[in-house]
Each structure stands twice: as structure tokens, then as C-alpha cells.
A and B are shown apart, each in its own frame.
Chain A
Amino acid sequence: MDALSASLAGSGVSVDDSLEREFEQRLADCPTLAYRVALGVLHNTAEAEDVAQEAMLRAYRNFNRLRDRERFRGWLVRTAWRLALDRIRAAGRRARREYAAIEGTWEVGAENTAAFREFEGHVARAVDELPEKQRVVIVLAAIEGYNTREVASLLDIPEGTVKSRLFLARKQLAKSLKWLVKDIPNR
């Protein structure tokens, strides 16, 4: 992704060069954010790439309208999230479930057992069943490097609300997967 940052930083030819440079800088600060958010919703790398591209393109088109440039990351997250949800709705919930189960899109390392892969599939489906407010919090908190304060900043909500939603989401997931408690996969 550093290549993306470097290539974007070197391709600034436009009417408003300073604005373009600022956009590229903002994008370089969070190169995989839109992709990861989309991946958390779609569970498919190709679909997530499409959505991330669309989100970044929209960000490019509307960057000059963004009053507070410091909120670029939150703006990008919300755009990617909304686009990913739109794509799922367009494809149909049922189709998405089958698709996610068949594809098994999350990358599986050599050390992963079949039991853990199955467990991951269950977790993914349980995450999808969460209320949207809890779901976006748990997905963002799972992205490397984002603590509750940063998630609160991204979503423009109080940190206490993030903690509360995160807590409820984890508990809901645990309850949904309670029947797996006896067979916790060891990895």
C-alpha cells in the first residue's frame, strides 16, 4: 500500500494542485482503511476492493466540499461502510450468506485448522447479524491500531458510547456462538 501512497503522491496534475496534494496526503495516511472497512462488511477481497475504490473516488470528487479536513478518515469510513452495505443490499442478503460461506474469503494461514475456519465462518455470520451501530464499532475496533478513542473520533460519537456498543456487541456475539463453547477451537 506504500506503493499506492507513493504513486498518488507523484501523480498530482490538476486545476487545483494544492487541493490534490492535500487529498493525496490524507489518503496516504490511511491507505487500507476503506478496504478493510469494506472487507469487514463484505468478507470478499474483490468486492471490498471495488467498494474501496469507489469510496476513494467519491472522496476525491467531494474533497473540496469537506469543511473540516481533519475528519477525512471518518468521512472515508462512513462512505466505504455505506457503499458496502448498499452492495450487500443490492446482491441480496441470502445470496451474500451463501456467497460468504462458500468463498471463505478471509485469508487462512497454514497453521489454521479446519475447525477454526468453520468457527470464523460462524463469527462472520454472527457479526453480520448484529445491529448496524454495534457492527460498525466492532469492525472498526478490530482494525489494527484503532482503540476506542480513535473509533469514537472516526464515527464522531462519544468514547463512552463506543465502549458500550463494543461491549454489547461482544456479548451478543458470544451468546450467538454459545453452542460452540463446548468445542472451542484451539489454534
Chain B
Amino acid sequence: MACERYSESMTDLAAGDVSPRREREFLLHAGECDVCREAYSHAREVFSALDRSVEKLVAGEPSPYFAARLRGRIAEERVSTSARWNSWALVAAGALATIVLGLILVSRLSLRTNSNPSVTTNAPAPALELERNMTPQNLSRRRQNPTPGRPSRAADTERLSQEVLVPGGQLAAALQLGDAVNGGGMDGEQLLAAQNELTKKLEIKPLEIALLESPNPDAAGNGSTRF
């Protein structure tokens, strides 16, 4: 005759998943009930067999070739790693050389550009107007309140460094001269001749004044003049 009292909880009992009080109760019952005692014994054996089987799942050693194979693969890994490093070193060296060459080229180009300054001929306004606006007050105001959209101060500085500086009051003349030379309105020889003329010393001829001759010598001899 089967005992149903602990049949549902036999697995828990065998696994130890019950309170100590309930386990004591069951053990007292199993001492008198052959069916429950046998079921409990079977369940315990199942767990024991389970544990043995799971242990067997992970038991064993790899084959004798395992170590040699692993050693070979690690050696290959070392070789491939060093080869990879070598190729990366080559790529890095090439990139560095390209950058250095580029920098040299850029610096040479900028040197060439700086050595050929030119007079700015594209004046945005008539020369006199421009000169009138270039007063010290206007310049300082511009520095403090730069116009939006205008090139930055650094750009201004760079642009100015490439221009010819003209003494104050002579900008209009310099611009006109530049226009005349570039437009072909003035000949170089003519300009040189004018410059030579300016450097020549002025010759001052003595003023010759002819003596006045009196028409009546007697009148002059009287010494009396009437006004």
C-alpha cells in the first residue's frame, strides 16, 4: 500500500530543501513507513547519481597533443604580432615622412609669397577719400569695434605686412603714382628724370639791375626836388 503523505515533497527532502523541523518529522515517519523510506532512499540515490554524472561530464584530460598544439599556436601568434607591429611601424614612418615633406613645401611657398610684396592697387574708394578716412582716430575706433564680416585682426595684420607703408599724408600720391605706373600713364624713364630733377641743386642766378639814366642831368644837379 502506497503512502502519499510525503510523495510530493520527496525531491525536496532528498535535496535538503526543507526546514529542519519538517525533516525531523519525515525521518520519524520514515522509521515506521517502509514505502517512504524506500522512496527517500531512491531519491537520495538519484541525486548521488546526478552528481556523479555531472562530474563525469567535466572529467578527463585533453589529449597529449593538446600542449604541443597550443605551444605552436602561441608561437604563431608571437610571429604574427611582431609582423603586424612591423607593418604598422612602416605605415607610421611613411605617414610621418609625408607630413614632414608637406610642412617643408608649405613653408617654402609662404616664404616665396612674403618676398614679393606689391602695392595694393584695388583701392575700394577714391584715393583722397581713403586718405581722409585713415586718421588716427578712425584707426583706433576700428581696432576697438571691428566691422562684422570683416577679416579678423590677424588677417588684417598679415595683409598689412605685405603692403608698402607710406608716410602719413602721402598715401594719395603713392596710390596715384602706383595707378599711373601700372596703367602705363607714366614712363619709368620719365619718373627717373623727375626724381633727378628733384635731387638737383637749385641754381640762383644773380639779379642784374640796369642803372637808370636821367634825361635831364641839370635837374639832377640842382638837388631840389619837389613833391
Contact surface of A with B, Cβ cutoff 8 Å? 1, 3-4, 7-8, 11, 13-15, 32, 35-37, 39-40, 43, 45, 48-49, 52-53, 56-57, 60-61, 106-107, 116, 119-120, 123-124, 127, 138-139, 142-144, 167, 170-171, 173-175, 177-178, 180-182, 184-187
Given contacts A4-B67, A181-B46, A184-B45, contact A57 B74 (CB under 8 A): yes
Contact A174 B50 (CB under 8 A): yes
Q: Which residue of A lies closest to B12 (CB)?
A: A171
Stretch binding the partner chain, chosen from B75-83, B152-160, B210-218, B219-227: B75-83
11 A-B pairs (CB sep. < 8 Å): A53-B69, A120-B56, A120-B57, A123-B53, A127-B54, A139-B57, A139-B58, A142-B58, A174-B14, A174-B43, A174-B46
Given contacts A4-B70, A43-B57, A170-B15, contact A184 B46 (CB under 8 A): yes
Number of chain B residues close to chain A: CB under 8 A: 40
Q: Which of B39, B43, B57, B67 contacts A8 (CB 8 A)?
A: B67
B187 interfacial contact with A, CB 8 Å: no
| Interfacial chain A residues near B39, Cβ < 8 Å | 181
Shortest CB–CB separation between residue A82 and chain B, in angstroms?
A: 17
CA distance A115 to B195 in the complex (A): 125
A-B contact count (CB 8 A): 131
| Interfacial chain A residues near B71, Cβ < 8 Å | 7-8, 11
Q: Which residue of B lies closest to A24 (CB)?
A: B74
Q: Which of B57, B59, B63, B75 contacts A11 (CB 8 A)?
A: B75
Closest 3 CB pairs of A and B: A4-B67, A123-B53, A40-B58
Contact B62 A32 (CB under 8 A): yes
Q: Which residue of B lies closest to A35 (CB)?
A: B62
Contact B50 A4 (CB under 8 A): no
Contact surface of B with A, Cβ cutoff 8 Å? 11-12, 14-17, 39, 42-43, 45-47, 49-64, 66-71, 73-75, 77-78, 82
Q: Which of A4, A143, A171, A182 contacts B66 (CB 8 A)?
A: A4
Shortest CB–CB separation between residue A39 and chain B, in angstroms?
A: 5
Contact B63 A60 (CB under 8 A): no
Contact B17 A171 (CB under 8 A): yes
Contact B58 A49 (CB under 8 A): no
Q: Which of B17, B49, B75 contacts A119 (CB 8 A)?
A: B49
Shortest CB–CB separation between residue A158 and chain B, in angstroms?
A: 19
Given contacts A7-B68, A53-B70, contact A36 B58 (CB under 8 A): yes
CA distance A106 to B60 in the complex (A): 8
Contact B57 A142 (CB under 8 A): yes
Contact A57 B73 (CB under 8 A): yes
